[in-house]
Amino acid sequence: MATTNNHNFSKGTDLAVILVYIMMVAIGVLCIFMIEYNPNLNWSNSFLTAKTNFSKQIYFSIFCTFIAIFILLLDSKVFTALANLSYVGGILLMLATFVLGKNINGSKSWIPIAGGFNLQPAELCKIFTALFLAKYISKPDTDFKKLKSHLIAGAAIALPAILSIMQHEMGLALVYSSFIFAMYREGLPPLILVVLLSFAILVITTLLLEPTLLAIILTVIAGLFIFSMIKRFKRNKNKILLVLGIWVVCFGTVRFAVPYIFNHVFECYQSTRIYSMVGKEYDCSQNKKSTSSTGERRSKKPDDYNVKQSKIAIGSGGFWGRGFLKGTQTRGKYVPAQHTDFIFTSLGEAFGFVGTFIFLGLYLFFLFRLVRIAERQRSAFSRVYAYSVVGIFFFHIAVNISMTIGLFPVVGIPLPLISYGGSSLLTFTALLFILLRLDADRQMVLR
Amino acid sequence: MYNSNRGRIIQIIIGVIFTLIILQLVSLQIFSSKYVLAANNNAIFRKIIYPDRGIIFDRKKRALLENTISYDLVVIPNEAKGVDTATLCAILKINKEEYSKRMVEVIIKNSRVKLGVFEPFLSSEVYAQITENLYRFPGFSLSERSIRNYPYNTAAHVLGYVAEVDVNFLKKHDAEGYEMGDYAGMTGLEKQYESILMGQRGVKRFLRDNKGKIQGPFEKGEFDTTAIAGRNLYTSMDVEVQQLAENLLQHKIGSVVAINPKTGSIIAMASSPGYNPNLLTGNQRRKTIGRLLTDTARPIYNRAIKGQYPPGSTFKPLGALIALDEGLITPSFGYNCFGLYTACGDPRKCEHHNAGHASNLQLALANSCNSYFLQVFRMAIDNPKYHNAKLGYLKWKEYMNSFGLGRKLGIDLPSENRANIPDTAQYNKDFGGAKYWNSCFMLTLGIGQDRMTATPLQLANTMAFIANDGYYYTPHFVDSVEEEDEFDKELLLKYRTKQEVTKIPKEYYDVIKEGMHDVTVIGTAAFIKVPGHEFCAKTGTAQNPHGKNHSMFVCFAPKDNPKIAVAVVVENAGFGSTWAGPIAGLIMEKYLNDTLTKESKTKVDYLANVDLMPANIKEWYIRNNKTDMLIPLNYNNDELSEIWDMEMLSETAPIKLDIDTLNKMDTFQKNKLPASPIPSKQKMKESILNPIQKKKKTNSQ
């Protein structure tokens, strides 16, 4: 089905990655088939007329094969040359969706193209952003130790992310945070990672604990800290100010920022999902967005139905799984959006822990292989791009699987190469094969 | 290259996150079993296939009960859109509010997407109307279910009923696989033989999607089990005799038990008041059960196995047997009775004054001489062999128990009562210690009074063992089970095992039988005839604390080759010979001759219509504004009927014959008052009664 014999047109292409790619796409088609399976349907007929999702996915993968071959046939320099241009084009395309956009599943991020297919520019923009970031960091006059370059790179990443949020694609926006891998590798101070992690912990504890209690705890910690280090602080008064400053930020986050974000920035369902992760119920009547937009106070039921059914499906797989086409959750269509965001459930139910373990092993091998590829690049451009790809893939895999097993709030992002969807498959194919193309020329220095 | 160690750190981060994911998968997929259950609950729809329950046949293979199909109107609320509610309401005779109310109930019970019962047990005309119009009621459908049907409208107490299981039942029968919504036998044979009658339910599993739609069989039906029909029971009951017994007991409170002494099989068992068993099936059940449970006459109560009555004079043959066996008397033993028994101080009345009416055992039995049997009882208790009255009494009680009195016989019906043969402990308590009492203290035990009680079943069984000269088979209904297996054989073994009573020589039984035969020739039952057969009998008129005497009668026939033993009790009706006796005679005639003479048929008509309901019960209905309950549930005749006091003798209430009651009894007889005021309607039929009344003059009690 997919790419064959790349030696003819590209020496040095990483065959292991291609092999894993083919396996993943095949597994994806298989999973979609399991979800759609119905003994009463005429398969050959529906395949030819492309009426079923699994047959559409096969057509998508054939199309992607051509794209992959096409990319491998290009010159590596094309990517450096077009990096900035493509980024601008991608942003324009995203802006265009506000005009041309079609509403699919509540997010207005799709542009209808010929043949009943739709394109999601935000997906493609990930590639362009990766290229742009690589281009920017690899510029000879960029010193990525400086804060200024951090801010420029951050802004370039934030722009498509903000546009995605405006299109109600929270998941896609979050993906842009995965560029932090590439930036970290290129010199972002680890302190930033530590601060971000601490901040995340603070937000989670805010959700878990009573705000007043947490404020007291924070104050006590600050007090103890100052008390125990009192001698050092006497020598350097600025440090006291630093501790106090941190205390103020933490306190502000707990008392004002987090409630504000949950009640004013997030949609009701988003707040609910996040709260349900920590086992709490969110009171939608507090949410200004849901009340103001509809004009009337409307509180929705907490929608942890997806996660519940998803956990049931995966959990009922047990150790060996229920067997191919034997999953009752899958056959009964109990898991919503199972062929897209929750596709991991069909795998978990049919093949059990053994299946999911092997599957995750394959993904892990794939990611480690990409890291190795990244590290063997001579040019910064290729390396930054490679780490961007690692980050994007990893983020998708980790978040998607975590949400199906109840470790992360439900955000709508697909499982790379597995989930049904042409845009997603095309994006990941292009992302990956551009990397393979660059890797084939790893001895070259690209700028 | 600088920062290259950061690639390692990125790999570590990836590894850590993957490890977390795998740990969560381990917890979900390996250590939580609840998800499999949840998935099965979601997706597997178990459909229970109910087998037909077994059928119960009488001795001529007539079905006492069988199965019939009833239809429920069921609905899937979500699909009930565009229903022609006006038509539907008209057919079901409900209004729109009721329609909405029921719909809400169905939704609450079964959710919107599952089938729920909208109207159970459709009558045949409603069924026909609905089938015709079903296309107007989208979402509605008809669902079949098998219910019980009693073609002969008889034997409600014996057969029992099936009902939906409740929480308590499920708790009790934990391991037997019942589920909410199942039906199970709740009383009678239905309960006793539940495991045989119910058969084996089948389960079909279907795959169901998130909308509740069936996708097809689960795993191609690999886990399905097929339903196995319940097995049939074959009894020795005779439908016609049973119907006759119930008919004769109408407007009376009482009981009839007829046993085949050769096998212990019960031919008929009736308890009155009763009810038509068909009223407890289908859509009449809810209405009927309420009425049955609130009725002061307790129509659900099976008096034949639960009613406790002092046996009265019907006990006398047993007292004689004990004395004979102990060698205290010989058949020629006579007692010089002049109408009073004075040996214990207070004189006790006897019914006869003429000298020599108790000059030997046979005569004493025929004349039912109280003095004779009081004397015989005292001799048994004060038997010098046992040194003191207490030990003598214990020996006497041992005889009683071996005769099947004061203990459960073990009939194949649930909740049999053991009635009462008092323990010495009871007397010790009453009289302040073992040394303070002697045979005079419980003197009237000798004539079946005092604290002694027996159930009609036990009384019939005493006749069975006398008929058999000393053995009986435990009374039972079920003779055989269809396709009997080892387990069934074991179950029925005790009904196929001969029970020997205390070894008493045959010649003593012969004397007793002769005496009891004399009862039917020259004695208290001389006017009762069974055409073509000699029979043995004993009448009884038992005093009780609830009003008029109970009319009792025990007998077996034919005398030389007994085929049927009968006990009849009519509560608060008066003399044994007046009411219970004729009933027993007709039962024997019907069974032995398979038909009744014309004269007997007239008697049946008369007896069936005699109202012997105690007045206090009638008052209860009037007091509680329940006069509608006066219409009996057995049969649909319009006659104003009767109800009676259901309170049975409590074991602790001492019953002592005192001179006053004996006097009253006497006066009663002297005046030849009918035992019960006969409604004017029945007076017209009195001419028929004439032969009976004439005889009564000569043979009182």
Rg (CA), chain B: 33
Q: Which amino acid is at A20?
A: V
Q: Taking CB atoms and an 8 Å cutoff, what residues of chain B touch A364? A: 14-15, 18
Residues above pLDDT 70, as percent of chain A: 91
List the single residue in A184, A186, A402 with the smallest CB-CB distance to B21: A402
Give the residue from B223, B164, B163, B202 showing the smallest Cα distance to B47. B202
Whether residues B35 and A363 touch (CB distance < 8 A) is answered with: no
Report the chain B residue with the minimal C-alpha distance to residue A377: B1
Whether residues A332 and B34 touch (CB distance < 8 A) is answered with: no
CB B348 within 8 A of CB B406: no
Q: Taking CB atoms and an 8 Å cutoff, what residues of chain B touch A309? A: 42
Per-residue pLDDT tens over the stretch B54-69: 999 999 999 999 888 8
Cβ–Cβ contact A273 with B under 8 A: no
In the DSSP assignment, the letter for residue B155 is -
pLDDT at A10 (0 to 100): 55
List the single residue in A38, A315, A394 with the smallest CB-CB distance to B29: A315
Q: State how far the Cα of B405 lies from the Cα of B315, in Å rounded to an integer.
A: 11
Lowest mean pLDDT among A140-149, A251-260, B219-228, B691-700: B691-700
Residue B609 confidence (pLDDT) above 80 = yes
Cβ–Cβ contact A183 with B under 8 A: no
A2 pLDDT band, cuts 50/70/90, is very low
pTM of the model: 0.63
Report phi then psi at B471, rounded to 5.
-145, 165
Whether residues A184 and B10 touch (CB distance < 8 A) is answered with: yes
Lowest mean pLDDT among A297-301, B334-338, B506-510, B582-586: A297-301
In the DSSP assignment, the letter for residue B633 is B
pLDDT at B556 (0 to 100): 94
Residue A92 confidence (pLDDT) above 60 = yes
B701 pLDDT band, cuts 50/70/90, is very low
Residue B653 confidence (pLDDT) above 60 = no
Residue A394 confidence (pLDDT) above 60 = yes
Residue A443 confidence (pLDDT) above 50 = yes
Report phi then psi at A73, rounded to 5.
-80, -15
Per-residue pLDDT tens over the stretch A190-226: 888 888 888 888 877 777 777 778 878 888 888 887 7
Strands (E), B346-460: 348-349
Quick count: other Cβ atoms within 10 Å of Cβ B285? 18
CATH number attached to the domain at B42-62+152-235: 3.90.1310.10
Interface of B with A (CB under 8 A): 2-4, 6-7, 10-11, 14-15, 17-18, 20-22, 24-26, 28-30, 32, 34-36, 38-40, 42-44, 207-210, 215-216, 218-219
Q: State how far the Cα of B660 lies from the Cα of B665, in Å rounded to an integer.
A: 8
Pairing of strands B340-341, B348-349: antiparallel
Q: Which sign does the torsion angle of CA A286, A292, A298, A302 carry?
A: negative
**Tokens describing residue A277:** 């992760």
Whether residues B30 and A318 touch (CB distance < 8 A) is answered with: yes
pLDDT at B681 (0 to 100): 41
The predicted model gives B74-103 an average pLDDT of: 86
Report the chain A residue with the minimal C-alpha distance to residue B208: A332
List the single residue in A39, A185, A332 with the smallest CB-CB distance to B6: A185
Q: Environment class of residue B555 by beta-carbon count within 10 Å: exposed (0-12), middle (13-18) or buried (19+)?
A: buried
Q: Taking CB atoms and an 8 Å cutoff, what residues of chain A touch B222? A: none
Whether residues A405 and B28 touch (CB distance < 8 A) is answered with: yes
pLDDT at B680 (0 to 100): 40
* B42-62+152-235 against B239-595+608-698: fold identical: no
Query: Which of B3, B4, B14 to mutate against chain A (most A CBs within 10 Å)?
Result: B14
Report phi then psi at B267, rounded to 5.
-90, -40
pLDDT at A203 (0 to 100): 79
pLDDT at B631 (0 to 100): 57
Report phi then psi at B453, rounded to 5.
-135, 160
Lowest mean pLDDT among A139-153, A363-377, B349-363: B349-363
The predicted model gives A74-85 an average pLDDT of: 90
Whether residues A401 and B21 touch (CB distance < 8 A) is answered with: yes
pLDDT at A447 (0 to 100): 67
A66 pLDDT band, cuts 50/70/90, is very high
List the single residue in B14, B42, B218 with the smallest CB-CB distance to A334: B42
pLDDT at B363 (0 to 100): 87
CB A312 within 8 A of CB B42: yes
pLDDT at B629 (0 to 100): 60
Q: Taking CB atoms and an 8 Å cutoff, what residues of chain B touch A39? A: 216
Give the residue from B340, B400, B395 showing the smallest Cα distance to B369. B340
The predicted model gives B11-20 an average pLDDT of: 92
Whether residues B17 and A398 touch (CB distance < 8 A) is answered with: yes
Q: State how far the Cα of B557 lies from the Cα of B531, in Å rounded to an integer.
A: 11
CB B634 within 8 A of CB B595: no
Cβ–Cβ contact A363 with B under 8 A: yes
pLDDT at A373 (0 to 100): 93
**Bridge-partner residues for B80, per DSSP?**
none
Cβ–Cβ contact A398 with B under 8 A: yes
pLDDT at B57 (0 to 100): 93
Whether residues B28 and A374 touch (CB distance < 8 A) is answered with: no
pLDDT at A146 (0 to 100): 84
| Average pLDDT score over chain B | 81
pLDDT at A17 (0 to 100): 94
Q: Please report the number of interchain residue pairs, chain A to chain B, with beta-carbon separation below 8 angstroms.
A: 123
Query: Which of residues B116 and B519 earns the better pLDDT score?
Result: B519
Residue B459 confidence (pLDDT) above 70 = yes
Give the residue from B422, B427, B434, B328 showing the smallest Cα distance to B373. B328
The predicted model gives B254-265 an average pLDDT of: 94
Lowest mean pLDDT among A162-171, A422-431, B295-304, B632-641: B632-641
**Bridge-partner residues for B555, per DSSP?**
B537, B566
B688 pLDDT band, cuts 50/70/90, is very low
> How near does any CA of chain B get to the CA of A291, in Å?
30
Residues above pLDDT 90, as percent of chain B: 25
CB B481 within 8 A of CB B488: yes
Per-residue pLDDT tens over the stretch A395-407: 999 999 999 998 8
List the single residue in A311, A352, A360 with the smallest CB-CB distance to B21: A360
List the single residue in A309, A368, A402 with the smallest CB-CB distance to B11: A368
Give kind and range of the element (H or E) at residue A347: helix A343-375
> How near does any CA of chain B get to the CA of A316, in Å?
4
> How near does any CA of chain A get to the CA of B46, in Å?
14
CB A444 within 8 A of CB A378: yes
Per-residue pLDDT tens over the stretch A347-385: 999 999 999 999 999 999 999 999 999 999 888 899 999
Cβ–Cβ contact A357 with B under 8 A: yes
Cβ–Cβ contact A311 with B under 8 A: yes
Residue B263 confidence (pLDDT) above 60 = yes
pLDDT at A410 (0 to 100): 83
3 state SS of A383: helix
List the single residue in A316, A332, A356 with the smallest CB-CB distance to B207: A332
Return the domain boundaries, chain B.
42-62+152-235, 69-145, 239-595+608-698
The predicted model gives B231-255 an average pLDDT of: 91
Give the residue from A385, A364, A360, A392 showing the smallest Cα distance to A442. A385
pLDDT at B2 (0 to 100): 60
Q: Environment class of residue B290 by beta-carbon count within 10 Å: exposed (0-12), middle (13-18) or buried (19+)?
A: exposed
3 state SS of B399: helix
Cβ–Cβ contact A187 with B under 8 A: yes
Q: State how far the Cα of B79 lies from the Cα of A371, in Å rounded to an integer.
A: 56
pLDDT at A89 (0 to 100): 93
ipTM: 0.88
CA distances from B288 to A234, A368, B271, B341 (A): 94, 78, 18, 52
- Which fold would CATH assign to domain B239-595+608-698? Beta-lactamase (3.40.710)
The predicted model gives B636-652 an average pLDDT of: 29
pLDDT at B371 (0 to 100): 86
Q: Which amino acid is at A249?
A: V
Q: State how far the Cα of B571 lies from the Cα of B644, in Å rounded to an integer.
A: 8
> How near does any CA of chain B get to the CA of A388, in Å?
12
Cβ–Cβ contact A314 with B under 8 A: yes
Alpha helical stretches, state H, A101-229: 121-138, 147-166, 170-175, 180-185, 190-208, 211-228
Q: Which amino acid is at B358?
A: A
B191 CB-near residues (< 8 Å, 6+ apart): B160, B184, B185, B414
A22 CB-near residues (< 8 Å, 6+ apart): A1, A2, A3
Query: Which of A324, A360, A364, A384 to mutate against chain B (most B CBs within 10 Å)?
Result: A364
Q: Taking CB atoms and an 8 Å cutoff, what residues of chain B touch A332? A: 42-43, 207-210, 215
Cβ–Cβ contact A408 with B under 8 A: no
CB A407 within 8 A of CB A274: no
Query: B369: left (phi > 0), else alpha (psi -120 to 50), else beta?
Result: beta
| Length of chain B in terms of residues written | 701
CB B676 within 8 A of CB B612: yes
pLDDT at B382 (0 to 100): 86
List the single residue in A185, A312, A405 with the smallest CB-CB distance to B25: A405
A9 pLDDT band, cuts 50/70/90, is low
In the DSSP assignment, the letter for residue A33 is H
Q: Distance between alpha carbon A85 and the CA centroid of its chain, in Å? A: 24
The predicted model gives B434-458 an average pLDDT of: 85
Q: Which sign does the torsion angle of CA B25, B29, B31, B32 carry?
A: positive
Residue B220 confidence (pLDDT) above 80 = no
Cβ–Cβ contact A344 with B under 8 A: no
A160 CB-near residues (< 8 Å, 6+ apart): A90, A91, A94, A122, A125, A126, A129, A176
Residue B322 confidence (pLDDT) above 60 = yes
B693 CB-near residues (< 8 Å, 6+ apart): B672
B692 pLDDT band, cuts 50/70/90, is very low
Per-residue pLDDT tens over the stretch B525-562: 888 989 899 999 999 988 888 788 899 999 998 998 99
The predicted model gives A147-169 an average pLDDT of: 88
> How near does any CA of chain A get to the CA of B494, in Å?
51
Q: Taking CB atoms and an 8 Å cutoff, what residues of chain A touch B11? A: 368, 371
